[in-house]
Amino acid sequence: MWREGCFEAGRVVCAALILVLCVSLAHGNAQSKILSDLLQDYDVNEWPHSEFKRPTTVKVQMFINSFGSLNAANMDYTIDVFLRQRWNDPRLRLKSGQKRITVSNPQTRAKIWKPDTFFNNVKEAEVHQVSMPNILLRIGNTGDVLYSMRITLRLSCNLQLENFPFDAQQCNTLLASYANTDDVIKFRWEDSVPIDLPDNLEIAQFDLLDHSTHEIKQEFVTGNFSGLLVKFSLRRQNGYHVLQTYVPTILIVSISWVSFWLDPNAVPGRVSLGVTTLLTLTTLASGIRASLPPVSYVKAIDVWVGMCMIMVFGALLEFTLVNWLANRKVAPDCQSVFRIPKVLASFDEEVGWQRDQEGEEEKEAEKHVEKGGQGAASAEEESPKTPATYIGHARALDRLCRAAFPGAFLLFNIIYWPYYLTQQSIEATIT
Ligand SMILES: *[C@@H]1O[C@H](CO)[C@@H](O)[C@H](O)[C@H]1NC(C)=O
């Protein structure tokens, strides 16, 4: 008895399953049937308006999914876009009363005419394949076709680096048909929003100031081609380079000035300070160079690094001069030629002077022996007035440089920053 009931239940379930299967099959068949009916006499090689002898207008919209940073070394940039193309194909009008059909089968998609759009300035492009090819092809009941795909593009962009890192750049995206001249395909931007940018679009190191869209005609020997151009205006954010380059180099240059406060005879201290700062600056400069293309013109950063090099190198040279002066013996008759200005010979100069004299006593003694055996007492009387070396001049020079070097660097900064910052804003308004 229960066995019979079980059979009964099984039969019902089975019937229900078959019914569901049949309905879904019938529905699937309907889709395929409509498409196969549509494509019965369809010639994929003919453009939609070939029988009317007029070009097909393809309306394009780009949704910028993400905007990669500009790569200065390779002179390119990367964008991830949803490329949406719309056109009308009168041969694909749906007669069955359906509103629209999404064609998901790649083989069926291949049977439908599509514009052979390509990007003129592309270096590398990829249609995303995960988890299925990111392509949408939808046919509306009036024969309107929407063809959307997600592409990552690496596009070349001619960077002008004269004002790097205070530069503004203009990068283009140019698309056109590869094989079909403008009597077959005419590209138009979508009327309302040709370039759709997400609100929170972030570009590393850059601000997207503006973009403009243009419809262009390219004349080649192969014919006239319709194309679409979008220009992105970008301005580099200065924060990164100020923090990573300008602040460290300012510190290094300032450290090199410490040398002027050290004794003219402190050879190991002053030489190692000079050489270390110079080497650190060289390392920093090569780090900056690595991220830039080897262009032959002078960039803003080259001017800066060059000036820092000159400052540090100057400090090292100044030490050489100071040390030479400090150890140079004075001939008795030419003392009055280089007189130390009052400003530079201050009170603590004299204190330092006397301390130094003590250190110099041996040399003094030698000198007086040479002079012909004068008394030690008379030498002590003479010594404050007649220096044995130019050490006073050396100290005066150090004192002068304590003001001159920072002053010169400050003056350079006063010229450098306003000049390049105005250059950047001028460039940004032009592009
Ligand atoms: C291309 O356009 C120019 C004028 O803009 C025209 O003179 C020329 O004949 C065209 N070429 C072709 C192949 O249609």
Q: What is the pLDDT of residue 330?
A: 79
Q: Looking at the predicted structure, is the pLDDT value of residue 310 above 80?
A: yes
Q: Are 75 and 293 in contact (CB under 8 A)?
A: yes
Q: How far is the CA of 38 from the centre of ligand 1 (A)?
A: 36
Q: How far is the CA of 182 from the centre of ligand 1 (A)?
A: 10
Q: How far is the CA of 224 from the centre of ligand 1 (A)?
A: 6
Q: Which residue has the tokens 């879904």?
A: 24
**CA distances to 153, 155, 240 from 126, in Å:** 7, 12, 31
Q: Looking at the predicted structure, is the pLDDT value of residue 14 above 60?
A: no
Q: What percent of the chain has pLDDT over 90?
A: 68
Q: Which of 79-93, 104-118, 320-334, 348-362 has the lowest mean pLDDT?
A: 348-362
Nearest atom in ligand 1 to the alpha carbon of residue 219 is: 1
pLDDT for 200-228, tens place per residue?
Answer: 899 989 999 999 999 999 999 999 999 99
Q: What is the pLDDT of residue 329?
A: 85
Residue 180: pLDDT band by 50, 70, 90 thresholds?
Answer: very high
CATH 2.70.170.10 domain span(s) along the chain? 42-237
Question: Ligand 1 pocket: which of 219, 222, 226 to mutate (most atoms <8 Å of CB)?
Answer: 219
Q: Looking at the predicted structure, is the pLDDT value of residue 161 above 70?
A: yes
Residues 141-145 have a mean pLDDT of: 94
CATH 1.20.58.390 domain span(s) along the chain? 240-329+394-430
Q: List, in order, residues 6 or more apart from 385 with CB less than 8 Å away.
A: none
Check if 216 has its Cβ closer than 6 Å to any atom of ligand 1.
Answer: no
pLDDT for 65-95, tens place per residue?
Answer: 999 989 988 999 999 999 999 999 999 998 8
Q: How far is the CA of 56 from the centre of ligand 1 (A)?
A: 18
Nearest atom in ligand 1 to the alpha carbon of residue 183 is: 14
Per-residue burial over 204-242, b = 16 or more CB atoms within 10 Å of its CB, e = otherwise: ebbebeebeeeeeebeeeeeebbbbbbebbbbbebeebe
Q: Which residue, among 284, 265, 262, 283, has the nearest Cα to 273 in the 3D structure?
A: 262
Instruction: Assign domain 240-329+394-430 to its CATH superfamily.
Output: Neurotransmitter-gated ion-channel transmembrane domain (1.20.58.390)
Q: What is the pLDDT of residue 3?
A: 55
Q: How far is the CA of 368 from the centre of ligand 1 (A)?
A: 99
Q: Looking at the predicted structure, is the pLDDT value of residue 289 above 50?
A: yes
Q: What CATH number matches the domain at 42-237, 1.10.3720.10, 2.40.110.10, 2.70.170.10, 2.115.10.20?
A: 2.70.170.10
Q: What is the pLDDT of residue 5?
A: 54
Residues 239-244 have a mean pLDDT of: 92
Single pTM value for the model: 0.78
Residue 364: pLDDT band by 50, 70, 90 thresholds?
Answer: very low
Q: Are 385 and 400 in contact (CB under 8 A)?
A: no
pLDDT for 250-263, tens place per residue?
Answer: 999 999 999 999 99
Q: Which residue, among 317, 340, 67, 335, has the nearest Cα to 209 in the 3D structure?
A: 67
d(CA 304, CA 300): 6
Nearest atom in ligand 1 to the alpha carbon of residue 223 is: 13
* Token pair recorded at residue 88: 């009308």
d(CA 52, CA 174): 29
d(CA 105, CA 372): 112
Check if 222 has its Cβ closer than 6 Å to any atom of ligand 1.
Answer: no
Query: Which stretches of 39-143 are assigned E, i.e. beta strand?
Result: 56-67, 76-88, 100-102, 117-119, 122-127, 135-140
Check if 306 has its Cβ closer than 6 Å to any atom of ligand 1.
Answer: no
Fill in the amino acid letter for 47. W
**CA distances to 14, 33, 108 from 252, in Å:** 85, 77, 67
Give CB contacts under 8 A, 24+ apart, made by 140-143.
140/94, 140/99, 140/100, 141/93, 141/94, 141/97, 141/98, 141/99, 141/100, 142/88, 142/93, 143/48, 143/88, 143/89, 143/90, 143/91, 143/92, 143/93, 143/94
Q: What are phi and psi of 340, to 5 degrees?
A: -75, 125
Q: Is 223 left (phi over 0), alpha (psi -120 to 50) or beta?
A: left
* Token pair recorded at residue 219: 């004349």
Q: Looking at the predicted structure, is the pLDDT value of residue 59 above 60?
A: yes
Q: How far is the CA of 35 from the centre of ligand 1 (A)?
A: 38
Fill in the amino acid letter for 146. L
Q: List, in order, residues 6 or more apart from 289 with CB less than 8 Å away.
A: none
